[in-house]
């Protein structure tokens, strides 16, 4: 599989069709947990120890794809590791019996061994919950209530009884055996942050590192302040409720500013989703081509033409210009070259980590572009805030 095909395959636009319920949870005063960086899909060795996967109290093996959150479900608590995803509305994991499950390194959750598992009923039958991905991957199962326990880095436990989760019995097409599911963190009614409730509903922040340990904060610990903080309004759309939409006003390539105003990409109430579960940044094709052309005018190297991405043969990332994302309200994010360009596994080839999508693909601000920013979501004030931060050193 080519580098371009591999990167494009990482984009998963999620459609969730589930019944909606509400639940209660104790109020978090604020807590922080570690994230596990997922190992690359290209790794051929089977992960066989917790040290390789990463520990909640230690540095993790570097990877540039997605981030895993460790939590426990059931009574007695059963550990799962799932993709942290602000573009999803549900916590789900693979469950026994599995009629068709993808391979995962960790044991699969067995609901029959949990005294607090209770399957949801809809009109006398199990409540179905199907998640379908654009590339054909899917997970199918039922909704249930279960106790979810989160271990903070301070050692304290945050217990959420009767939390609605998805129990998957049929999943296919997933290529991350380090993960057993997804932790939905958008502002939909079934997301983890919404079901926390309490004093800080929908208040979460994280700091993604390209190396070492990354963190996610809930409740009071999610507040960010100080020099360098910039904020932008987030919007909710009726077409895709729950997604965190931002307004991207322009992209600067070096000193060249490319406005969205005057293009089909321009919007007043959200034109791009900020998503922790998607690796790269996606822009509409017509606008994306303008950004690419600006990059091409700067780079003096041999372009690789047999790829849909903008790639060059080079031994250094320094051939590329700095890119700045200008969000509404003056939230100007000057991105490191690592955020916007990626080196092939074998070296000697660098590609722009921005995918030019077709008209049906959502514009997405992915997690690689968010690396080394402390990113805060505050659904009460409808703001997303960014603070440039060395995330690997923040809690070291």
Q: What is the pLDDT of residues 151-178, one digit of tens each?
A: 888 778 889 999 999 999 999 887 778 8
The pTM (predicted TM-score) of the whole model is 0.85
How much is the average pLDDT of 65-88? 91
The gap from C-alpha 249 to its chain's centroid, in whole angstroms, comes to 22
pLDDT in tens, 174-213: 777 888 999 999 988 899 988 987 765 678 899 998 876 7
Residue 252: Cβ-neighbour burial (10 angstroms; 0-12, 13-18, 19+): buried
Catalytic residues: 85, 275
CA distance linking residue 371 with residue 111, whole number of Å: 36
Question: Which of 139-153, 166-180, 319-333 is the most confident on average?
Answer: 319-333
Q: Which residue has the higher pLDDT, 210 or 134?
A: 210
CA distance linking residue 378 with residue 349, whole number of Å: 39
- Specify the pLDDT at position 38: 57
Q: Which residue has the higher pLDDT, 96 or 137?
A: 96
Structure tokens at 380: 């009460």
CA distance linking residue 299 with residue 297, whole number of Å: 6
Q: What are phi and psi of 130, to 5 degrees?
A: -115, 135
Q: Which residue has the higher pLDDT, 349 or 393?
A: 349
pLDDT in tens, 336-388: 999 999 998 888 999 999 999 876 778 999 999 999 999 999 888 899 999 99
- Specify the pLDDT at position 100: 93
Q: Which residue has the higher pLDDT, 281 or 357?
A: 281
Nearest Cα residue to 66 out of 46, 52, 86: 86
- Specify the pLDDT at position 3: 38
- Specify the pLDDT at position 274: 96
- Specify the pLDDT at position 5: 36
pLDDT in tens, 9-54: 333 333 444 543 333 444 446 778 778 765 433 332 222 223 222 2
Nearest Cα residue to 265 out of 390, 185, 362: 362
Domain ranges of the chain: 11-222, 230-394
Q: Which residue has the higher pLDDT, 131 or 253?
A: 253
230-394: CATH topology is: Cathepsin D, subunit A; domain 1 (2.40.70)
On the question of pLDDT at 312 being above 80, the answer is: yes
On the question of pLDDT at 108 being above 70, the answer is: yes
Cβ–Cβ contacts within 10 Å for residue 64, how many? Answer: 19
Tokens 């919950």 map to which residue? 129
- Under CATH, which architecture does the 11-222 domain have? Beta Barrel (2.40)
- Specify the pLDDT at position 220: 77
1-15, 82-96, 282-296 — which is least confidently predicted?
Answer: 1-15
Same topology between domain 11-222 and domain 230-394: yes
């Amino acid at each position: 599989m080519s580098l371009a095909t591999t990167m494009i395959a990482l984009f998963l636009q999620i459609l969730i069709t589930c019944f909606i319920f509400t639940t209660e949870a104790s109020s978090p005063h604020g807590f922080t947990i570690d994230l596990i960086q997922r190992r690359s899909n290209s790794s051929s060795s089977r992960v066989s120890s917790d040290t390789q996967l990463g520990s909640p109290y230690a540095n993790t093996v570097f990877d540039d794809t997605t981030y895993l959150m460790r939590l426990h479900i059931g009574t007695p608590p059963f550990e799962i590791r799932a993709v942290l995803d602000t573009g999803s509305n549900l916590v789900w994991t693979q469950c026994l019996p599995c009629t068709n499950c993808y391979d995962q390194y960790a044991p699969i959750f067995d609901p029959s061994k949990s005294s607090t598992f209770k399957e949801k009923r809809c009109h006398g039958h199990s409540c179905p919950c199907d998640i379908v991905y654009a590339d054909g991957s899917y997970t199918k199962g039922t909704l249930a209530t279960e106790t979810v326990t989160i271990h903070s880095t301070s050692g304290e436990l945050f217990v959420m009884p009767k939390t609605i989760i998805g129990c998957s019995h049929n999943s296919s097409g997933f290529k991350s055996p380090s993960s057993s599911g997804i932790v939905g963190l958008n502002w939909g009614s079934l997301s983890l942050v919404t079901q926390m409730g309490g004093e800080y509903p929908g208040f979460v922040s994280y700091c993604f590192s390209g190396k070492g340990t990354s963190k996610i904060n809930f409740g009071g610990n999610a507040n960010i302040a100080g020099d360098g903080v910039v904020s932008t309004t987030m919007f909710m759309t009726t077409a895709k409720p729950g997604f965190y939409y931002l307004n991207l006003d322009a992209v600067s390539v070096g000193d060249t500013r490319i406005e969205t105003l005057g293009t089909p990409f321009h919007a007043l109430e959200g034109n791009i989703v900020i998503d922790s579960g998607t690796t790269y940044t996606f822009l509409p094709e017509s606008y994306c081509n303008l950004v690419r052309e600006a990059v091409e005018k700067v780079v003096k190297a041999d372009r690789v033409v047999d790829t849909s991405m903008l790639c060059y043969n080079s031994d250094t990332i320094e051939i590329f210009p700095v890119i700045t994302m200008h969000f509404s309200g003056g939230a100007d994010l000057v991105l490191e070259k690592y955020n916007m360009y990626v080196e092939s596994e074998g070296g000697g080839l660098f590609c722009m980590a921005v995918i030019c999508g077709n008209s049906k693909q959502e514009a997405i601000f992915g997690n690689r572009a968010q690396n080394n920013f402390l990113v805060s979501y505050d659904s009460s004030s409808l703001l997303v805030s960014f603070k440039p931060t060395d995330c690997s050193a923040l809690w070291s």
